[in-house]
Amino acid sequence: MGNQIYEKSIYVNICNVMQLALVFCCLILLVLGCKEPKPLEQYEDEELITLVMDIQLASTAVSNSTKSLQDSLKETYRAQVSKIHKVSYEEMDTIIKYIHLDLPRFNIIIDSVYARINRLIKDDSYGKNKKTKDKRVTK
């Protein structure tokens, strides 16, 4: 009788250990399975810079247009940026969200975008000044 109780006690202890091991394995799988992927890892900085720059230029063009055209232009530019960069609207929104959350990368991207936009403005101004000078010279 005492031997049966001892065997039953060992069996119960083994079952408890196995249950704990199973619960532990499930928790590990749950933690690893729920790890959120980093959506920006698949993009090079250059891709993100050109995407953000196009979004910024489109946003500026929309905000500088008349109120009656803004909604249709916003959708048109959004579709165009999506097509150029081969990303869905949802991907664009997610990328922008995660760029803002990654401060070091955000700073690199935004600094590059502003530098390129300023260079475009400077080049455009230079082109206008050169044309103006050429007209004065030919008169």
Residues 2 and 29 in one domain: yes
Residues 84 and 53 in one domain: yes
Any idea of the CA torsion for 41, 43, 44, 49, to the nearest 10 degrees? -120
Same domain for 59 and 82, yes or no, is yes
Query: Which residues fall within 8 angstroms of residue 126, CB to CB, at 6 or more apart?
Result: none
Q: What is the mean pLDDT of the chain?
A: 78
Residue 3 and residue 69 share a domain: no
**What is the number of helices (H) and of strands (E) in the chain?**
5, 0
- Residue 50 and residue 31 in one domain: no
What is the arithmetic mean of pLDDT over 8-24? 61
List CB contacts of 80: < 8 A, sequence separation 6 or more: 58
* Domain of 10, in residue numbers: 1-35
Per the CB < 8 A criterion, the answer to whether 95 and 87 are in contact is: yes
- For position 136, what pLDDT does the model report? 46
How many domains does the chain divide into? 2
pLDDT band at 61 (very low <50, low <70, confident <90, very high): very high
Q: Is the model's pLDDT at 2 over the cut of 70?
A: no
Domain match, 82 and 132 both: yes
